Amino acid sequence: MSLFRLKKKEKNKDGWFGNYKNWEELATMSGGYQAKTILDITKDSLLKIKNGEAVYERDSVLFDKKLYPYSVISALLYAAVECGGTLNVLDFGGSLGSTYYQVRDLIPPSVKLHWSVVEQEEYVTCGKDLFEDEILKFHYTIKESVTSKKANVLILSSVIQYLPNPHDFLDEIKEFGFKYIILDRTSFIKNDQSDRLTLQIVPAHIYEAQYPAWFFNEKRLMQHFDDYQIKTEFESSVPGEQEIVIDSVKAGYDKGFFLIRK
């Protein structure tokens, strides 16, 4: 499928399109997820959160009412209790601390909290300059993060589907032996289909961007976590992500899991 034909056909539309075979080719043509515009918009939004000028941010969009991801918060509180009141989180692909700012109000002060975001280089540089404090830290790699502070919770929120080789990544993280994994807002394909690579076109009111996005076969993806017990599974807390339209068909959905190492 030609990306350029798709762009013309889907002019002024947003959402998920196509069934592509090559991530690198699609990323090159679409621009991928590394556009500086995305970072700048996210930075400006989260600075408003940090400075108390806004109450809630998700995917760089500001809201006037806070929407808590209660399933994620419940999992974090469970882990904190089981770990003696200590919560060391590694938030892979955590932007500039979006999930941290969403959940921090409901983490009691009695919990000793450390939150490390692992991100792309430009995000880490920005995070260190503008957002890092005694709780929130930024690192370039998982290895660097766990060397600095061993994490007991790994958060993967709306990130795996944006990796070029997601299955390889899930194999690689096994070596770190995280006690708890929170898999949140992860995209799956319906009806036991094979993994599907799509083009995601972001709504123009958020920012102008398009990039590759996977939808996974749920059973296959969860085979990476055979060493974990599924404590809970839950729908995405984001409205509209429970059923996702691909090429005008309700073919996908986002959901999450709270996993505990056996």
Tokens of 35: 């556009």
The predicted pLDDT at position 239 comes to: 86
Backbone angles phi, psi at 73, to 5 degrees: -60, -45
pLDDT over 70 at 43, yes or no: yes
Write the pLDDT tens digit of every residue in 213-243.
Answer: 999 999 999 999 999 999 999 999 988 899 9
The predicted pLDDT at position 11 comes to: 52
Torsion angle of C-alpha atoms 194, 199, 201, 207, degrees rounded to 10: 110
* Contact status, residue 118 vs residue 91, Cβ threshold 8 Å: yes
Which amino acid type is present at position 110?
Answer: S
**Residues in CB range of 183: below 8 A, 6 or more apart:** 156, 160, 256, 257, 258, 259
Cβ count near 216 (within 10 Å)? 21
Write the pLDDT tens digit of every residue in 47-78.
Answer: 998 888 888 787 777 887 788 999 999 999 99
Taken in order 140, 141, 144, 146, the sign of the CA dihedral is positive
- The pTM assigned to this predicted structure is 0.92
Domains present along the chain, CATH in parentheses: 3-261 (3.40.50.150)
pLDDT, averaged across the chain: 91
Write the pLDDT tens digit of every residue in 98-131.
Answer: 999 999 999 999 999 999 999 999 999 999 999 9
| Percentage helix, strand, coil for the chain under 3-state DSSP, each rounded to 5 | 35, 30, 35
Taken in order 259, 193, 190, 158, the sign of the CA dihedral is positive
The predicted pLDDT at position 3 comes to: 46
**How many Å apart are CA 37 and CA 43, to the nearest integer?**
10
Write the pLDDT tens digit of every residue in 70-93.
Answer: 999 999 999 999 999 999 999 999
